[in-house]
Chain A
Amino acid sequence: MKSLVKEAELYRTQGLLEESKERYLEVLQLIEKNQRFQNNKKAINVIKDRIVGLEKDLAEIDQETEAPELSGKVQDLIKNLFSFSQNKDAAEMEGAVALARFGQYERALAEFNRLLDKGTLPLIAAKNVLRCHLALSSTDAAIDQFRKWLSGELLSKKQLRDIRSFLEYVLKRKGIQTKLPEVVGGTSQRPKEAGSEGGFLDVCSVTIRLESGPCKGSTKELDVTFQSGNVISLIISAKDKDLVDSFVPGIRLRGVHFFSSICVFRANGIVSEWTSIKTGPRRGDYVLSITIDRSDKLDIL
Chain B
Amino acid sequence: MANFNLKDRVIECKIVYYGPGRGGKTTNLQYIHKAFKKQTTGEMVSINTKGDRTLFFDFLPLGLGKIKGCEIKVQLYTVPGQVRYSSTRKMVLKGVDGVVFVADSLSVRRKENMLSLKDLQQNLAEQKKSIFKIPLVLQYNKRDLAKESIPLLSVKLMERELNRKLKIPSFPASALKGTGVGATLQECLKLTLQHLQRELKWAG
Q: B203: CB under 8 A from chain A?
A: no
Query: Across the interface, which residues of B come within 8 angstroms of A61, CB to CB?
Result: 50-51, 53
Interface residues of B in 18-76 (CB under 8 A from A): 21-22, 45, 47, 49-53, 55-56, 59, 75
CA distance A102 to B87 in the complex (A): 11
Instruction: Using CB atoms, name the residue of chain A closest to B51.
Output: A15
Task: Tell me which of B132-140, B146-154, B165-173, B186-194 binds A.
Answer: B146-154
Is the pair B87, A291 in contact by a Cβ cutoff of 8 Å?
Answer: yes
Is the pair A84, B108 in contact by a Cβ cutoff of 8 Å?
Answer: no
Is the pair A74, B86 in contact by a Cβ cutoff of 8 Å?
Answer: no
* Chain B residues with a Cβ closer than 8 Å to the other chain, count: 32
Instruction: Using CB atoms, name the residue of chain A closest to B94.
Output: A84
Is the pair B148, A6 in contact by a Cβ cutoff of 8 Å?
Answer: yes
Q: B95: CB under 8 A from chain A?
A: yes
Q: A242: CB under 8 A from chain B?
A: no
Q: Mark A58-90, 1 if CB is under 8 A from B, else 0.
A: 001100101010100010011001101000000
Would you give the shortest CB distance from B136 to chain A, in whole angstroms?
Answer: 21
Interface majority SS on A: helix, strand, loop or mixed? mixed
Is the pair A273, B86 in contact by a Cβ cutoff of 8 Å?
Answer: yes
Is the pair A10, B59 in contact by a Cβ cutoff of 8 Å?
Answer: no
Would you give the shortest CB distance from A53 to chain B, in whole angstroms?
Answer: 13
Would you give the shortest CB distance from B131 to chain A, in whole angstroms?
Answer: 18
Given contacts A7-B151, A16-B109, contact A77 B59 (CB under 8 A): yes
Query: Across the interface, which residues of B come within 8 angstroms of A66, CB to CB?
Result: 49, 55
Q: B164: CB under 8 A from chain A?
A: no
Is the pair B91, A101 in contact by a Cβ cutoff of 8 Å?
Answer: yes
Given contacts A10-B150, A61-B50, contact A272 B95 (CB under 8 A): no
Instruction: Using CB atoms, name the residue of chain A closest to B53.
Output: A15
CA distance A243 to B84 in the complex (A): 16
Q: B88: CB under 8 A from chain A?
A: yes
Q: Which range holds the interface residue count of chain A?
A: 20 to 34
Q: A289: CB under 8 A from chain B?
A: yes
Q: A250: CB under 8 A from chain B?
A: yes
Would you give the shortest CB distance from A230 to chain B, in whole angstroms?
Answer: 10
Is the pair A3, B149 in contact by a Cβ cutoff of 8 Å?
Answer: yes
Q: A25: CB under 8 A from chain B?
A: no
Is the pair B52, A15 in contact by a Cβ cutoff of 8 Å?
Answer: yes
Q: Which of B45, B59, B91, B151 contacts A98 (CB 8 A)?
A: B91
CA distance A74 to B55 in the complex (A): 13
Q: A11: CB under 8 A from chain B?
A: yes
Would you give the shortest CB distance from B15 to chain A, in whole angstroms?
Answer: 13
CA distance A249 to B80 in the complex (A): 14
Q: Which of A11, A250, A272 contacts B108 (CB 8 A)?
A: A11
Query: Across the interface, which residues of A come within 8 angstroms of B75, CB to CB?
Result: 81
Q: B90: CB under 8 A from chain A?
A: yes
Q: Which 7 A-B pairs have the closest CB atoms?
A: A273-B87, A272-B87, A19-B108, A289-B87, A272-B86, A15-B51, A15-B22
Chain A interface residues (CB < 8 Å from chain B): 3, 6-7, 10-11, 14-16, 19, 57, 60-61, 64, 66, 68, 70, 74, 77-78, 81-82, 84, 98, 101-102, 231, 249-250, 272-275, 289, 291
24 contacts between A and B (CB under 8 A): A6-B149, A10-B145, A11-B108, A15-B21, A15-B22, A15-B51, A16-B22, A16-B108, A57-B51, A61-B50, A61-B53, A64-B50, A68-B47, A70-B47, A77-B45, A78-B56, A82-B91, A84-B95, A272-B86, A273-B87, A273-B88, A275-B84, A275-B85, A289-B87
- Known pairs A60-B50, A61-B51, A70-B47 / 7 extra A-B pairs, C-beta < 8 Å: A6-B150, A11-B108, A14-B22, A19-B106, A74-B45, A272-B86, A272-B87
